[in-house]
């Protein structure tokens, strides 16, 4: 079904007041039409799609309200049900294994995991639609049975306008924000949002109408503090590499303390080693023959709730299966016994009533770990050196003794097409740096989580 988008950037102050609050807040209007529906979205900004075949898209942040109104065409039946929904989904394509055991891209259609779904149902009838002052005067003073011609009279567009508003969910912890809109054509991965309007008339001879409109959710930079997000480039964190048995040397990797990187940047790192106790011959051998491998791994996990089994039917007890006469005899024969009620403290009773329900069990429906980048180097090409102090004095002997025996310095470039980190409602997208230093038969490893935004 074809649809057409129109947008305006005029101020809303000149428009009449409305009960829909975002009309006076957001200045951009995007209009989409089908044969029987017209959907208007009010947003703080617009974005033009790169393909250029469709109109602009409404852009919201996680702190905005997604709202607008749906206008039914005059040809629609006078009664029915209008449903407006917002949906957020994560698209992924499972990989298939070839005969040699290697994974390859699947030829099937991408799957979709819905992580955000909310809808509002608006019953439409002549009594529920907002009426104009003229029609209200007619209904108040003219009491007569409606004829066929009166029912078929199409109301005005203002009478068939139905506003709606959706509040986006907020996260309680940093790093678990609502995932932004993102699509990539390389791996068929992406996060998409859309508004869906569905019209179901009560007339069996009239077809249903359906309209889907994509929207964009992106982070709001106004809610991010620059002082908190900026980390000094001289702030580094050293993490040791572990081995299966005690070794006469130690290896470590050094990363920026924040461990948070943008997709348009790169990840700098240092890999160092030190012999214990210091041995010049061993250090020379390690510096020449060690194999250093650093990989950027992406791990995607999708979980869904396990459907609970149906509740079994109620089984009548032995008392319920007895006749009324038997119940009466049992009641007479039973000796009353005084039972002192057990006192429960107010704290205990409050905890019992306020105890949250246990979370429903989850099952993993998709899991994928993929290596995106891999840097490999033979040997440690450099040995760290201390620079001269600001006072002009040379470094002390203790400073030289604390230096590692070998140093490998490199960086992993990132890509704007990479999927950002996600931790939201059954979707988990995480990144790790997998560091390995192979010396002879011994392998020292470490896997460090990093955050890519």
pLDDT in tens, 368-380: 898 999 999 999 9
Query: What mean pLDDT do residues 163-167 have?
Result: 92
- Write the CATH number for 294: 2.60.40.640
Query: What mean pLDDT do residues 246-250 have?
Result: 90
Judged against a pLDDT cut of 80, whether residue 18 lies above it is answered with no
Would you state the pLDDT for residue 14? Answer: 34
| Residue 357 forms part of a structural domain | no
What is the pLDDT of the chain when averaged over all its residues? 75
Would you state the pLDDT for residue 194? Answer: 95
Judged against a pLDDT cut of 50, whether residue 294 lies above it is answered with yes
Unique residue bearing structure tokens 């990840």: 267
pLDDT tier, 382 (very low <50, low <70, confident <90, very high otherwise) = confident
Would you state the pLDDT for residue 357? Answer: 57
Do 162 and 276 sit in the same domain of this protein? Answer: no
**CA 25, 26, 29, 33 torsion: positive or negative?**
negative
More confident residue, 138 or 189: 189
pLDDT in tens, 187-209: 778 899 999 999 999 888 888 89
CA–CA separation, 374 vs 296, rounded Å? 6
pLDDT in tens, 113-123: 999 999 999 99
Do 379 and 253 sit in the same domain of this protein? Answer: yes
Do 296 and 441 sit in the same domain of this protein? Answer: yes
Would you state the pLDDT for residue 22? Answer: 43
The residue ranges of DSSP E strands in 93-149, in sequence order, are 96-97, 103-104, 111-124
Do 292 and 372 sit in the same domain of this protein? Answer: yes
For residue 395, CA distances in Å to 403, 406, 407 come to: 11, 19, 19
| Share above pLDDT 90 across residues of the chain, in percent, rounded to a whole number | 34
Say if pTM beats, i.e. exceeds, 0.85: no
Judged against a pLDDT cut of 60, whether residue 80 lies above it is answered with yes
Do 168 and 272 sit in the same domain of this protein? Answer: no
Would you state the pLDDT for residue 48? Answer: 82
Q: Which of 230, 239, 299 minimizes the C-alpha distance to 258?
A: 230
Judged against a pLDDT cut of 80, whether residue 421 lies above it is answered with yes
Do 190 and 297 sit in the same domain of this protein? Answer: no
| Residue 336 forms part of a structural domain | no
Which two tokens mark 319?
């008392």
| Residue 314 forms part of a structural domain | no
Least confident of 172-176, 313-317, 360-364, 421-425: 313-317
| Residue 394 forms part of a structural domain | no
Judged against a pLDDT cut of 80, whether residue 136 lies above it is answered with no
Do 255 and 119 sit in the same domain of this protein? Answer: no
Q: Which domain holds residue 73?
A: 28-95+109-125+158-217
DSSP 3-state of 314: coil
More confident residue, 332 or 28: 28
Q: Which of 221, 225, 218 minimizes the C-alpha distance to 66?
A: 218
Question: Which range, 23-32, 175-184, 353-362, has the best average confidence (pLDDT)?
Answer: 175-184
Do 72 and 116 sit in the same domain of this protein? Answer: yes
Would you state the pLDDT for residue 172? Answer: 72
For residue 282, CA distances in Å to 223, 228, 274, 438 come to: 53, 44, 10, 14
| Residue 169 forms part of a structural domain | yes
| Residue 318 forms part of a structural domain | no
Do 299 and 173 sit in the same domain of this protein? Answer: no
Which two tokens mark 54?
């469709």
Q: How many helices and strands in the chain, by DSSP H and E?
A: 8, 24
Unique residue bearing structure tokens 């907002």: 130
Least confident of 162-171, 243-252, 288-297, 358-367: 358-367
| Residue 104 forms part of a structural domain | no
Q: Are strands 406-413 and 422-424 parallel, antiparallel or unpaired?
A: unpaired
| Residue 199 forms part of a structural domain | yes
Name the β-bridge partners of 100. none
Would you state the pLDDT for residue 103? Answer: 57
Please, what is the Cα angle at 433 between 432 and 437, to 5 degrees? 145
Judged against a pLDDT cut of 50, whether residue 16 lies above it is answered with no
Do 117 and 192 sit in the same domain of this protein? Answer: yes
Judged against a pLDDT cut of 70, whether residue 143 lies above it is answered with no
More confident residue, 176 or 18: 176
Query: What mean pLDDT do residues 149-177 have?
Result: 71
Query: What mean pLDDT do residues 172-193 have?
Result: 82
Do 379 and 273 sit in the same domain of this protein? Answer: yes
The H-assigned helical ranges of 142-214 are 148-152
What contacts 24+ positions apart, CB below 8 Å, involve 150-159? Answer: 151/78, 154/74, 154/75, 155/74, 155/78, 155/126, 155/129, 156/74, 156/132, 157/71, 157/74, 158/130, 158/132, 159/129, 159/130, 159/131, 159/132, 159/135
Do 174 and 292 sit in the same domain of this protein? Answer: no
Domain count, the chain: 2
Phi, psi of 378 (to 5 degrees): -100, 115
CA–CA separation, 379 vs 273, rounded Å? 11
Would you state the pLDDT for residue 75? Answer: 85
């Amino acid at each position: 079904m074809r649809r057409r988008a129109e947008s305006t950037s005029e101020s809303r102050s000149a428009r009449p007041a409305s009960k829909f609050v975002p009309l006076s807040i957001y200045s951009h209007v995007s209009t989409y039409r089908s044969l029987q529906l017209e959907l208007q979205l009010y947003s703080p900004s617009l974005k033009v799609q790169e393909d250029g075949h469709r109109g602009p898209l409404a852009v919201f942040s996680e702190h905005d309200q997604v709202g607008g109104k749906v206008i039914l065409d005059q040809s629609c039946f006078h009664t029915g049900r209008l449903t407006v929904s917002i949906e957020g989904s994560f698209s992924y394509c499972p990989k298939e294994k070839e005969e040699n055991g290697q994974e390859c891209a699947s030829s099937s259609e991408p799957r979709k995991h819905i992580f955000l779904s909310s809808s509002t149902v608006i019953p439409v009838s002549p009594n529920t639609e907002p009426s104009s002052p003229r029609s209200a005067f007619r209904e108040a003073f003219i009491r007569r049975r409606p004829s066929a011609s009166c029912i078929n009279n199409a109301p005005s567009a203002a009478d068939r306008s139905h506003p709606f508003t959706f509040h986006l969910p907020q996260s309680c912890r940093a790093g678990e924000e609502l995932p932004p809109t993102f699509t990539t054509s390389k791996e068929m991965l992406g996060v998409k949002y859309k508004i869906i309007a569905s019209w179901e008339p009560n007339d069996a001879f009239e077809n249903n109408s359906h309209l889907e409109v994509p929207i964009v959710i992106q982070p709001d930079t106004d809610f991010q503090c620059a002082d908190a997000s900026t980390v000094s480039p001289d702030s580094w964190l050293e993490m040791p590499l572990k081995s299966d048995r005690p070794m006469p040397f130690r290896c470590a990797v050094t990363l920026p303390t924040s461990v948070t990187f943008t997709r348009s940047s790169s990840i700098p790192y240092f890999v160092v080693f030190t012999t214990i106790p210091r041995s010049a011959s061993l250090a020379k051998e390690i510096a020449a023959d060690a194999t250093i491998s650093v990989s950027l791994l992406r791990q995607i996990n999708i979980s869904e709730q396990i459907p609970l089994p149906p509740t079994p039917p109620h089984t009548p007890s032995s008392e319920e299966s007895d006749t009324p006469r038997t119940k009466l005899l049992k009641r007479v024969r039973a000796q009353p016994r005084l039972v002192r009620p057990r006192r429960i403290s107010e704290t205990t009773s409050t905890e019992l009533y306020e105890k949250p329900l246990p979370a429903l069990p989850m099952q993993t429906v998709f899991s994928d770990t993929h290596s995106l980048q891999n840097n490999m180097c033979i040997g440690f090409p450099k040995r760290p050196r201390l620079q001269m102090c600001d006072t002009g004095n040379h470094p002390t002997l203790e400073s030289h003794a604390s230096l590692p025996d070998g140093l490998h310095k490199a960086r992993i470039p990132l890509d704007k097409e990479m999927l950002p980190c996600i931790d939201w409602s059954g979707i988990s997208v995480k990144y790790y740096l997998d560091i390995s230093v192979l010396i002879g038969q011994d392998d020292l490893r470490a896997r460090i989580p990093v955050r890519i935004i």
